[in-house]
Structure 1
C-alpha cells in the first residue's frame, strides 16, 4: 500500500467514525405538524477536499462553460462544419462534444489530442468538422492541465506550470484561428469580424475569459505551493504550443 492510499484510507476511517458517533438530533413532536427531516452536516467532501480543490473545480467548470460558448459561436459563423459530422443540428453537435462520456476522443479526429487537434483543424485536406477539432484541441489541453481529472481531492496536486502553459496555448490557438488561411487565401474558420459593416469581437472576449481562468488558477496554485512559474515570451510568427 503506497503512502497516498494509506492517507486516503485514514480520511475514510475518520469520516466513517464521525458519522457513526455523531448524535442525530430528534426534534420534539408538535401536535398537528410533521416532524422536519433530519439532515446531517457531515459531508464526505469536507474530509477529503481542500478549499483549493473546490476553487480549482470551479475554475475548470467555468473554463468549459466558455469553451461551450465558443463552440456555439464558431458553429454559427461556420455552419457547414457541424453538418460535416452528420449531426441533425448545431445543438446536437454541441451536446455530442460536451454532454457525452467520450473523454474527448472522436473517430474523426483519429485519436488526436491537444496540439495535434489544432493542426488537424487547419490542414488543407481535412474533410471533417474543423470546429470540433479546434474545440477538442483546447478542451484536451485544459484537461491535461488538470491531470485529466474533473474532481479534485486532498491528495491531488496541480502543477501551476501546466496551467500557465495551457493559457499560453489558448493564446496561440487564437492567433492561428484568426490568421491561418488556405491556399485560396481564405480563413479556415471565421471568428471575429472587424470590418465597418460587421463588427463582432465577442470571440476575443470569450477567449480572454478562458485565458484568465487558467492564469488565475496557475497563480493561486503557485502561491499556495511556493512554486515558481517559468514564463514564456513568444512572437506571433514563431509561436509553438507549450508542453503540458
Structure 2
C-alpha cells in the first residue's frame, strides 16, 4: 500500500509539474493606446500593430544575423549595437542607406542580395526589407481614417519576403559561401529561428491583405443584414 501511495503521489507531482511547465508560456498583451486611436478605424489599428510587429521582427533578425555574421557590422560600425542603432534610425526616419547607392524597396532588396555586394550586407538587407514593406503600405508605418491601403501591394510584399529568404539561403558569393549565415541544420541540431521569424512577417502581411479584401465584401453583407434586420425592430410598450 505504501509503495502504491508513493507511486500515486509521484505521478501527481509529475503531472502538476508538466501542467505548470505547459501553462507558463506567457500571456497575450495588448498594445499601448492613446488619443491617436480616436482617429483610427479597426482596420487602421490592425495595420498599425502589424507594421510595428513586422519592424520588430526585422530588428530581431538583424540582431541574429549580426551575431552569426560579425564581419558585417565591422564594415560600418565600432560595435554590433552601434550598427543596429544606425540601421534602426535610418528605417524609422525613412532615410536612405548609404550602402544601397540610392536604391529603394525592391531594387534595394535586389542589390543587397547580389553575390558581389561588398558593403554591410546585413544592414542593407534589413533596411531594404523594411523599406519594401513600408512602401507597400503607401510609405507609412501608422494609419488613420484618411489612409487607404492596397491589399495587392501588401500581398506582393509577402511574396517578396519569401523570395528574399529563398535567395538568402541559396545564393553563394564568389568564394562559394552563403551570402549570410542564417538557419543551420547540422550535427549539433537544427536552428530554424530565422525561418520562423521571417514566416511571422509573411503571415502578418498575408493576413492583413486578406483582411483588407474581406473588409469590402463584408461591408456589402453588413448593409444587407441591416436592411433585413430593420423589419424586425419594433418599439416596446411602456404602459
Say whether the fold is shared (TM-score over 0.5).
Answer: yes
Q: Secondary structure at the match of 1:190?
A: coil
- Residue 167 (1) aligns with residue 158 (2): yes
> 1:115 Cα shift?
2.1
Aligned residues: 184
Query: In the alignment, which of 196, 216, 226 is matched to residue 217 of structure 2?
Result: 226
**What per-residue deviation string (whole Å, max 9, x for no partner) do you get for residues 57-85 of structure 1?**
00000000100011111111111011111
**What per-residue deviation string (whole Å, max 9, x for no partner) do you get for residues 93-140 of structure 1?**
111111355414122211111222232223343221001111122101
Q: Secondary structure at the match of 2:214?
A: helix
Contact 1:113 1:136 (8 Å CA) reproduced: no
Q: Secondary structure at the match of 2:208?
A: helix
Contact 2:115 2:171 (8 Å CA) reproduced: no
Alignment partners' CA distance in 1, 2:200 and 2:95: 22
Contact 2:134 2:140 (8 Å CA) reproduced: yes
Which residue in 2 is equivalent to 1:187? 178
| 1:106-121 paired onto structure 2 within 5 Å | 106-121=97-112
Q: Secondary structure at the match of 1:111?
A: coil
Alignment partners' CA distance in 2, 1:186 and 1:195: 16
- Residue 214 (1) aligns with residue 205 (2): yes
> 1:225 Cα shift?
2.2
Larger Rg: 2
**What per-residue deviation string (whole Å, max 9, x for no partner) do you get for residues 168-206 of structure 1?**
100000000000002332111111001122521110110
Give the RMSD, CA atoms, in angstroms.
1.9
Which residue in 1 is equivalent to 2:88? 98
Contact 2:41 2:144 (8 Å CA) reproduced: yes
- In structure 2, list runs of 5 or more residues that go unmatched: 1-33, 219-239
Query: In the alignment, which of 125, 132, 135 is matched to residue 123 of structure 2?
Result: 132
Contact 1:97 1:104 (8 Å CA) reproduced: no
Give the structure-2-normalised TM-score: 0.72
Contact 1:167 1:211 (8 Å CA) reproduced: yes
Alignment partners' CA distance in 1, 2:36 and 2:194: 39
Give the structure-1-normalised TM-score: 0.71
Contact 2:138 2:149 (8 Å CA) reproduced: yes
Alignment partners' CA distance in 2, 1:49 and 1:195: 47
Contact 1:120 1:126 (8 Å CA) reproduced: yes
Q: 1:43 to 1:129 in 2, by over 3 A?
A: closer
Kindly indicate which of the two structures has a greater share of residues assigned to helix.
Answer: 2
Contact 2:111 2:117 (8 Å CA) reproduced: yes
* Segments of 4+ moved more than 6 angstroms: none
Which residue in 1 is equivalent to 2:72? 81
